[in-house]
A and B are shown apart, each in its own frame.
Chain A
Amino acid sequence: GAVVSQHPSRVICKSGTSVKIECRSLDFQATTMFWYRQFPKQSLMLMATSNEGSKATYEQGVEKDKFLINHASLTLSTLTVTSAHPEDSSFYICSARQSYEQYFGPGTRLTVT
């Protein structure tokens, strides 16, 4: 089956620093990947749609200059949280689209101190 990996699984960083999270589709190519954010005990909220070779599409309320997305190849999308603050602490999940389905990565827990 389709497998999606994320790296790192957990990261702790200091306020003001930047963190890069990678999302890879391991056994298929994905022209479209999605980035979600999940707060404790809440559902997934779509942050942006990442399209290979073009700019990401951000959902309303998501700061594109803060959450930089790069989809440089058909198997890799990256999310960079720039100048992270404690309120950015969350669980970030990516998914990769194959046909009409999305396959989810295991998530990355970001803690900003």
Chain B
Amino acid sequence: AQSVSQHNHHVILSEAASLELGCNYSYGGTVNLFWYVQYPGQHLQLLLKYFSGDPLVKGIKGFEAEFIKSKFSFNLRKPSVQWSDTAEYFCAVNANNAGNMLTFGGGTRLMVKP
């Protein structure tokens, strides 16, 4: 069965700092990869996704993620965070043999200090 791990449970940054959130998955086959964000009191929203092609994916709000197949990783990055980026971030994986099922990582709670 596939699993997803996010190494950082809580991250605190100051505004303008750079962000990198780790995501690793365990599945040897073809995967689709996602990052979702959940702002306080709001529902999950898709930040970006990778299906195929260029492993460096750009999403909304200046976020990007890089798929490194050899490392089974899909880390999320942002060069300069803002206070409004305070939220919880979830990495999710869909393995091609799992239908449309998404497996979520444990989430990373990001707090950006103004």
Establish whether residues A107 and B43, one from each chain, have CB atoms under 8 Å apart when the complex forms: yes
Minimum C-beta distance from B10 to chain A (A): 10
**A46 interface neighbour in B36, B43, B102, Cβ under 8 Å:** B102
Establish whether residues B49 and A101, one from each chain, have CB atoms under 8 Å apart when the complex forms: yes
Establish whether residues B44 and A104, one from each chain, have CB atoms under 8 Å apart when the complex forms: yes
Establish whether residues A42 and B107, one from each chain, have CB atoms under 8 Å apart when the complex forms: yes
* Number of residues from A at the complex interface, CB < 8 A: 20
Establish whether residues A102 and B102, one from each chain, have CB atoms under 8 Å apart when the complex forms: yes
Complex CA gap A105/B43 in Å reads 6
- Chain B residue nearest to A99 in the complex (CB): B100
* Number of residues from B at the complex interface, CB < 8 A: 21
Q: Is A93 an interface residue (CB 8 A)?
A: yes
Q: Is B106 an interface residue (CB 8 A)?
A: yes
Chain B residues contacting A97 (CB-CB under 8 Å) are 100
Establish whether residues B99 and A34, one from each chain, have CB atoms under 8 Å apart when the complex forms: no
Complex CA gap A47/B80 in Å reads 36
Establish whether residues A43 and B49, one from each chain, have CB atoms under 8 Å apart when the complex forms: no
Q: Is B51 an interface residue (CB 8 A)?
A: yes
Complex CA gap A97/B36 in Å reads 15
- Chain A residue nearest to B91 in the complex (CB): A43
* B 91-114 contacts with A by CB, 8 A: 94, 99-107, 109
Q: Is A106 an interface residue (CB 8 A)?
A: yes
Q: Is B46 an interface residue (CB 8 A)?
A: yes
- Chain B residue nearest to A49 in the complex (CB): B101
Chain B residues contacting A106 (CB-CB under 8 Å) are 42-43
Establish whether residues B44 and A43, one from each chain, have CB atoms under 8 Å apart when the complex forms: no
* 3 closest cross-chain pairs (CB), A and B: A104-B44, A106-B43, A43-B106
